[in-house]
Structure 1
Amino acid sequence: MPESLEAPTLLRTTARPVKAGQQNPSSLQRIRVAIACSGLGHVQRGVEAWAEDLAAGLRRRAPSLQLDLFAATSGPDRQRVQCLKRNDLLTRRVASVLRQLGGWRYGMGSPYEVEQTSFALGLWRRIHRSHDLLHVQDPVIARFFEAAHRAGLSRPKVILAHGTSEAPSTLRAFSTLQHLIPEAADEWEAHRPSKQASFVIPNLIDVTRFHPAASCSVRARLGLPQDKLIVLCCAAIRRRHKRIDYLLNEFAAANTAVGGQMMLIIAGAQEEDTADLIQMGHTLLGDAVRFMVNVPRAEVKDLYQAADVFVLPSLQEMFGIVLLEAMSSGLPVVCHDSPSFRAVVGDGGVYSDLSKDGGLQASLPMLLDAARRRNLAMRGRDHVQACFSEAAVVPQVLSMYETVSGKAI
């Protein structure tokens, strides 16, 4: 049986500067901020969602802020920076050659690194003289601009929002870190250089975009059954990290135990082992599973509204924006029992040890109880509104910008 149903504490939501050593903002100077993400527009990950959501939230809540969003694709709300995209054949060939030449030493050891480095070179030409701050989660971009700033070759100070599990040797190189949960900041404190500024500010979610809705009409439109408990997972469709193979096995056992009352939907980006996992899923579950590959984020909202339960089988996430999206949409969450997941999910989740066989299998049937689902969903959405909404998070981000830049919004 699951070890716990509730989390006793909520995430601390106040920005927490640690020995920032910055001057007070001057009302005579205004901040100009760049938010950048090399995958935005062609990759569906949490990093891309972070950049898009943060820029939109800042523009709505702080219209006086001078803000530019940079991405590898153009759009009405962002500016394009030309780069080698990670999934292009040319990029993969370049990475393959440079990997043999020690490319990992200079940010060119993988297609993702090649994308970030080529993006950083193009971005530098756009912002090195004009902006005060660069806010990023992509680590190679952040390292490039941190080094350029320290060498006097780039004006903007760098804020790395640490969402990609970087090693301490990498994180110590930055002047400013944004941790997404208090536990991460507490663990980092023993490694933090004395002059490094550290903040605890979570990711945010637009609770008006992701909201509960009657599932019947959405299911009818998507061709989903009305009489099944629909379990949704939004994650890259791969074994490593996201553990989709574990999800398939555990769901198959749970669904058999309850007489086939459930259906599983897995929506996520295509990976190298996606085809094998899809075949595995259909062998185990037949029509009781549906895979939706590379679904645009704008369409994922419908999946949340059609589902009854959200599950994330990974054992570790730096944050997990999909958890916010699910809870904001009125779904109870099933996830691994760890401090990082409890910090994000709060009282809106069923927790179990998903490192063990049977951990997820035991949790899913409990949520056939509609009253339990409603209770968890209500508490989860309240938690999101209190801790992760734009109203809760944007003021913290603005305060961080003023502290780091020494200027006013």
Structure 2
Amino acid sequence: MNVFIVCTGLGHINRGYESFTRECYDALKDTIDFKLYLIKGGGKSIGNEIALPNLPRRKKGAQFLAKILPLDAYAIEQATFCISMLPLIFKKKPAVIYYSDFVLGTYLWHLRKYLKFKYKLLFSNGAPNGPPFKTEDHVQQLLPVYLEEAIRKGAPAEMQTLLPYGFNININERLNSLAKKKLIRKQLGLSPTQKVILSVGAINTHHKRMDYLIDEVAKLGSEYFLVILGQFEAETPQLINLATTKLMGRFTITNVPQEDVKDYYIAADYFVLASLNEGFGRVLIEALSYGLPCIVHNYINAKQVLGEYGIYLNMENEGELTEYFSIEKTVLNKESLIKAAHSRYSWSVLKKDYLKMISALIN
């Protein structure tokens, strides 16, 4: 039986949805339980990886249509991708379509209803959305808080699976990378003596709160250097100006290819995510898997992701992060953090559960 794992942004942008879809396909593609296809919005079509034409949300075509249609650019990307996928659905007749973009799933549900397709819709609920779940056959809940809330609001437990994101984590590779820290810092142009604070996420103020992070680091001494990596957004120039004014050369704000982010994890001393809420926060586990202390806002989602391996502050308060670094506490050693990330989230631990979840919808 054929299974599609689908992400319209893969090949266009770097978010949690895209990195998860890429890793999930790579982890599961060798299974004998079903034939897996990666259906993506950009890049090259190679083997079972198929790139489909669409109007990407950040391109002029989608943004122009958003001005004249009752759809935003994101929905236009999903709709045009869905139309492009129709011939593939007719040809391959997938038993399951596995996706993270809620809007895409809604369109696929309508197509199934009117064109009498037989596929089951498996939704990885990373935002999260719902309940109720009216257009999904099964929902992957990433954290207990979402599963408990959904059941409390009437969503049947049997249509949900509690299963966190998987990650490519090789313990030996991570441990060996620690010895390369000085070399990689030199290659990245970072000081060998400054303490590097890293944050990864969309470079904005409204969700990731990079302005809060800049303001807090500005109050620290010159021994601290801030690195912000992520997708540039409308607010990014404003944040670059803020950092230029307040950090006086003690910062880097840039967007790098996903495969290059790991060098910054190796080079950094701390990881900070200043957002007050996240659906899951894949970057937290990526950072933890490189032995970085993860400093986050104190809320239930982050606690369920990191457990005892997180450092929790009230980042609604001005000066909270600055105070932490001023009276810095002892944290677990890097090897303990790497092993904790592996034992909870590596594909080698979770792969069988993913195969079970998908196979249950085929049978």
Query: TM-score by structure 1 length?
Result: 0.83
* 1:331-350 pair list within 5 angstroms: 331-350=292-311
Shift of residue 295, structure 1, vs aligned partner: 1.0
Structure 1 letter corresponding to 2:356: S
1:204-243 residue CA offsets vs partner (Å, 9 max, x unmatched): 1101397242310000111100001101000110001110
Q: CA RMSD in A?
A: 1.9
User: Are 2:184 and 2:266, in contact at CA under 8 Å, matched by a contact in 1?
Assistant: yes
Structure 2 letter corresponding to 1:67: L
Partner in structure 2 of residue 72 of structure 1:
41
Q: For 2:156 and 2:192, locate their aligned partners in 1 and report how far apart those are by CA, in whole Å.
A: 57
SS of aligned partner of 2:312: strand
Shift of residue 124, structure 1, vs aligned partner: 2.6
* 1:10-409 pair list within 5 angstroms: 31-59=1-29, 62=31, 65-75=34-44, 76=46, 78-98=49-69, 103=70, 109-128=71-90, 130-151=93-114, 153-168=116-131, 171-194=133-156, 197-208=159-170, 211-212=174-175, 213=177, 214=179, 215-253=181-219, 255=220, 259-292=221-254, 294-367=255-328, 372-373=330-331, 375-406=332-363
Structure 2 letter corresponding to 1:57: A
Q: For 1:216 and 1:193, locate their aligned partners in 2 and report how far apart those are by CA, in whole Å.
A: 51
1:18-66 residue CA offsets vs partner (Å, 9 max, x unmatched): xxxxxxxxxxxxx321101000011011110110011111125x36541
User: Are 1:250 and 1:358, in contact at CA under 8 Å, matched by a contact in 2?
Assistant: yes
Q: For 1:174 and 1:190, locate their aligned partners in 2 and report how far apart those are by CA, in whole Å.
A: 18
1:349-384 residue CA offsets vs partner (Å, 9 max, x unmatched): 2111112222222223455x6xx34x2533332221
Q: Which runs of 5+ in 2 are unaligned?
A: none
Q: For 1:201 and 1:160, locate their aligned partners in 2 and report how far apart those are by CA, in whole Å.
A: 12
User: Are 1:205 and 1:390, in contact at CA under 8 Å, matched by a contact in 2?
Assistant: yes
User: Are 1:95 and 1:110, in contact at CA under 8 Å, matched by a contact in 2?
Assistant: yes
User: Are 2:42 and 2:51, in contact at CA under 8 Å, matched by a contact in 1?
Assistant: yes
The 1:314/1:267 distance shift into structure 2, 3 A limit, reads same
Shift of residue 185, structure 1, vs aligned partner: 0.5
Q: For 1:225 and 1:70, locate their aligned partners in 2 and report how far apart those are by CA, in whole Å.
A: 41
SS of aligned partner of 2:199: strand
Q: For 1:242 and 1:46, locate their aligned partners in 2 and report how far apart those are by CA, in whole Å.
A: 13
Structure 1 letter corresponding to 2:23: D
Say which structure, 1 or 2, has more relative contact order (CA 8 Å, 6+ apart): 1
The 1:376/1:339 distance shift into structure 2, 3 A limit, reads farther
User: Are 1:348 and 1:379, in contact at CA under 8 Å, matched by a contact in 2?
Assistant: no
Q: For 2:15 and 2:321, locate their aligned partners in 1 and report how far apart those are by CA, in whole Å.
A: 24
Q: Which runs of 5+ in 1 are unaligned?
A: 1-30, 104-108
Q: For 1:80 and 1:166, locate their aligned partners in 2 and report how far apart those are by CA, in whole Å.
A: 26
User: Are 1:131 and 1:156, in contact at CA under 8 Å, matched by a contact in 2?
Assistant: yes
Structure 2 letter corresponding to 1:52: R
User: Are 1:178 and 1:199, in contact at CA under 8 Å, matched by a contact in 2?
Assistant: yes
Shift of residue 196, structure 1, vs aligned partner: 6.5
User: Are 1:177 and 1:197, in contact at CA under 8 Å, matched by a contact in 2?
Assistant: yes
Q: For 1:146 and 1:199, locate their aligned partners in 2 and report how far apart those are by CA, in whole Å.
A: 20
User: Are 2:195 and 2:268, in contact at CA under 8 Å, matched by a contact in 1?
Assistant: yes
User: Are 1:146 and 1:157, in contact at CA under 8 Å, matched by a contact in 2?
Assistant: no
Query: TM-score by structure 2 length?
Result: 0.93
User: Are 1:35 and 1:51, in contact at CA under 8 Å, matched by a contact in 2?
Assistant: yes
